[in-house]
Structure 1
Amino acid sequence: MTEPPAHGSVILREFTEADVGLALEFGEDPYIPLIGSLPAHPSRQEAEAWVRRQQGGRAEGRGLPFVIVAGGTAVGTIALWLRKLSEGVGIVGYSISPEHRRRGFATDALVAITGFARTVPGVERVELYIEPWNRGSLRAAEKAGYRCEGLLPDHHEIGGVPKDMLVYASP
């Protein structure tokens, strides 16, 4: 990647050891630890391990995780996961730190990663999966140009419980 993906107020960059602080912030959110591999209330060592897993996802070809940076501050994460690449599908997942929500960072990051996804060989379609109650995420996806294609009952396990998800796709 020659130039980092960017749009509006954000730049997407690769994970570094400096992102342990962001991992610690994420671990205090009641929802973020339920949807990924970061434990709730992580120790510094657990946060460091989570950052290394993000870096490893890229190195192992599982996906392309980024830190969302706005005004020089890490405000969230976004990734293009490649587990469905054989079907031509990239799956985007993102989280914004609670103190940085409702500022348009998720929308800008979605636009940036969607443009970036179009440069990844084999990605023909970009999908998002969002729980129906998550109004902020639904708004961010729609503002970024994604369209809802329907409800998938019991599609993702979140916190050990199967959850319905809305599938969104990029234009």
Structure 2
Amino acid sequence: MEPLIQPILQTDAVRLRPFAAKDAALIRDASVDALIPSITSVPSHGTEDEILAFIRRQHDRLRLRTGYSFAIADAHSDVAMGQIGLWLRDADRGRVSIGYWVGSRHRRHGIASAALAAISDWGLTLPGVHRVELYVEPANEGSWRVAERCGFLREGLLRGWQEIGSRRRDMYMYSRLE
């Protein structure tokens, strides 16, 4: 089976593009964040080899056809500021999901909103996709406010939905339809 082809999604604020070795500094910073390593595949306190392996895994998602992992980069400087992915686990049922994080130095500047709007709009154009989903911890008000700004509706609370660290956590379910 052919690998997926990853586009570059450009807005006035952000460029969603494949990760590159030049993005290692962002991954290094994220690896020491209090939350990012516990809810993503970013290595905790990652070594240089682990950080480069993380970047390779993002590219492998295309080969494995599991989804699209984008670096969220500044539209003008191309400096990476975060990660956003569109995951295809339930694409055969018309549903895809999105996950994202923004590096601590780049938060509260509208970056997550710009990236989420861009990837959601694009994801809903993929053949057979009619629903985009997000899962957000109730305590993560910043993230669920981003979702709501981008047209996602909160559908309910999924109790014990996801393991984070060593504990099962409740998650808000958000969706946006075509």
Q: TM-score, normalised by structure 2?
A: 0.91
Q: Which amino acid aligns with 2:24?
A: V
Secondary structure in structure 1 of the residue aligned to 2:44: coil
Unaligned runs of 5+ in 2: none
CA distance in 2, matches of 1:148, 1:129: 9
Between Structure 1 and Structure 2, how many residues are aligned?
171
* Separation in 2, partners of 1:23, 1:60: 22
Which of 132, 139, 159 is equivalent to 2:138?
A: 132
Q: Which amino acid aligns with 1:6?
A: Q
What SS class does the counterpart of residue 169 from structure 1 fall into?
strand
RMSD: 1.4
Q: C-alpha displacement at 1:2, in angstroms?
A: 8.8
Matched, 1:7 2:15: no
Helix, strand or coil for the counterpart of 2:26? helix
Shift of 1:118: 1.9
Listed one character per residue, the Cα deviations across residues 76-128 of structure 1 (whole Å, up to 9, x for unaligned) are 01000001112111100000000000000000000000111022223211000
**Segments ≥4 residues shifted beyond 4 Å:** none
Distance 2:174 2:164 in 1: 18
Aligned partners of 2:138 and 2:172 also within 8 Å: yes
Residues 1:87 and 1:99: Cα distance change in structure 2 (over 3 Å): same
Match of 1:123 among 120, 129, 148: 129
Q: Does 1:141 align with 2:147?
A: yes
Match of 1:120, SS state, is coil
Q: Which letter maps to 1:153?
A: R
Alignment of 1:18-167 (within 5 A): 18-70=22-74, 71-72=76-77, 73-167=79-173
C-alpha distance in structure 2 between counterparts of 1:4 and 1:11, whole Å = 7
Asked if the contact 1:33/1:39 (under 8 Å) is kept, the reply is yes
Distance 2:24 2:62 in 1: 17
Which residues of structure 1 form unaligned runs of 5+? none
Whole-Å Cα distance in 2 between the matches of residues 108 and 21 of structure 1?
Answer: 22
How far residue 43 of structure 1 moved from its aligned partner, in angstroms, is 0.4
Give a deviation string over 1:49-96, Cα, whole Å, max 9, x none: 011011101221000110111142111010000011121111000000
Once structures 1 and 2 are overlaid, which stretch shifts more, 136-145 or 114-123? Answer: 114-123
Identity percentage over the alignment?
A: 40
Q: Could you tell me how far apart the structure 1 residues matched to 2:14 and 2:33 are?
A: 22
